[in-house]
């Protein structure tokens, strides 16, 4: 067992392996995307949408692991990076959930079912889900960070009997900003799964039955003892900072905490140096990283 496996992370693969195994970049040109057709569009909130994509070539193989990311492109606008939001247990298509922020995400927001996008990937390492067998798990997603939690969570739910208790803690600024509303209701009905949703003070709407408070505070109120639990936490940097402090106060070891990094990227496969923090290349050595590894990175993250 190597160091990464002990930390609950599967190492990344080289571009060659990704290309050979999955719907990656065409061999010989790492930047060449494959064509995907938008099969369905789901509006999650006023500025977040989920796309379900299928390969234009029905014979194209799709292979990826939970936690990996890809580049999604719109002709004439450019490309941007999203986590692959569906796990490999839900095969045959690719899902991404994204927030409209700038040029490419605005162009992606204008697409309708039937239109084409470019896709290159998968890239990066992945969550070491196999190392979580029998353990209690907590998935914490803040805002659009819930999209990064979605693939390992859905994978665990698809293989429910292999894991202990599952807690999902999802927070957003307001009730209108919470994503995956329909699915959350389904998850709540699964045996041994507890879903907690929270909004910032003032973000409630009439009849709001969830929690009110910041995610780290709500986590502390849940009283979840460390007891070998794995905590997957993704969200904005400020939330992550306060979550790590809360988990430290509660006695969680940094090795029990896994997150993902979202540094700006250009190539996605360790060639351009756009995403690195010291010797750590987020696209190649991440994006999945434990709090223990995070502590060892230079402070300029």
Ligand X SMILES: Cc1cc2nc3c(=O)[nH]c(=O)nc-3n(C[C@H](O)[C@H](O)[C@H](O)COP(=O)(O)OP(=O)(O)OC[C@H]3O[C@@H](n4cnc5c(N)ncnc54)[C@H](O)[C@@H]3O)c2cc1C
Q: Catalog residues that contact ligand X under the rule CB under 6 A.
A: 69, 80-83, 96-99, 101-105, 144, 147-148, 262-265, 287
Binding mask 275-294 for ligand FES (x = CB under 6 A): x-----x-x-----------
If contact means CB under 5 to 8 A according to the sort of partner, which of ligand FES, ligand X, none does residue 71 touch? none
Q: How far is the CB of 225 from ligand X (least distance, A)?
A: 31
4: which residues sit within 8 A by CB, 6+ positions away? 10, 11, 125, 128
Q: How far is the CB of 257 from ligand X (least distance, A)?
A: 18
CA angle (14, 17, 18) in 5-degree steps: 85
What string marks each residue from 227 to 266 as x (binds ligand FES by CB under 6 A) or -? Answer: --------------------------------------xx
The entry of ligand FES, ligand X, none that residue 82 binds, CB within 5 to 8 Å by partner kind: ligand X
Q: Please answer whether residues 24 and 14 qualify as being in contact, where contact means their C-beta atoms are separated by less than 8 angstroms.
A: no
The sign of the CA dihedral 246, 286, 79, 84 is: negative
Residue 267 makes contact with ligand FES by CB under 6 A? yes
The CA–CA distances, whole Å, from 132 to 125, 156, 165, 253 equal 16, 9, 11, 15
Size of the site for ligand FES (CB under 6 A): 12
> Out of ligand X, ligand FES, none, which partner does residue 296 contact, by CB within 5 to 8 A per kind?
none
Provide CB contacts within 8 A for 40, sequence distance 6+: 51, 52, 113
By CB under 6 A, tell whether 122 contacts ligand FES: no
Rounded to whole angstroms, how far apart are CA atoms 220 and 287?
A: 26
**Residues 6+ positions from 247 with CB-CB distance below 8 Å:** 219, 231, 233, 256, 257, 291
Minimum separation from the CB atom of position 272 to ligand FES (A)? 3
Instruction: Catalog residues that contact ligand FES under the rule CB under 6 A.
Output: 265-268, 270-275, 281, 283
């Amino acid at each position: 067992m190597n160091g990464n496996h002990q930390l609950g992370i599967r190492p990344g693969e080289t571009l060659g392996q990704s290309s050979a195994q999955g719907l990656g970049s065409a061999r010989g040109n790492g930047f060449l995307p494959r064509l995907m057709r938008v099969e369905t569009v789901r509006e999650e909130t006023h500025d977040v949408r989920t796309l379900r994509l299928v390969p234009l070539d029905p014979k194209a193989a799709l292979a990826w692991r939970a936690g990996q990311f890809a580049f999604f492109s719109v002709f004439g606008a450019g490309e941007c990076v999203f986590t692959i939001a569906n796990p490999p247990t839900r095969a045959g298509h690719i899902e991404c959930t994204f927030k409209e922020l700038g040029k490419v995400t605005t162009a992606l927001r204008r697409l309708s079912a039937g239109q084409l996008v470019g896709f290159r990937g998968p890239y990066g390492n992945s969550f070491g889900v196999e190392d979580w067998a029998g353990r209690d798990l907590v998935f914490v997603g803040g805002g659009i960070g819930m999209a990064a939690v979605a693939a390992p969570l859905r994978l665990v739910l698809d293989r429910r009997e292999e894991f202990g208790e599952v807690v999902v803690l999802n927070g957003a600024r307001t009730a209108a900003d919470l994503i995956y509303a329909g699915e959350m209701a389904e998850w709540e009905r699964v045996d041994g799964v507890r879903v907690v949703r929270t909004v910032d003070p003032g973000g409630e709407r009439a009849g709001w039955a969830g929690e009110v408070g910041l995610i780290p505070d709500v986590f502390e109120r849940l009283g979840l003892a460390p007891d070998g639990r794995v905590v997957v936490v993704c969200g904005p940097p400020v939330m992550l900072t306060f979550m790590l402090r809360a988990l430290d106060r509660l006695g969680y070891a940094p090795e029990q905490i896994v997150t993902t990094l979202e540094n700006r990227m250009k190539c996605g496969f360790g060639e351009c140096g756009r995403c690195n923090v010291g010797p750590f290349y987020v696209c190649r050595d991440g994006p999945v990283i434990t709090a223990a590894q995070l502590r060892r990175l230079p402070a300029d993250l």
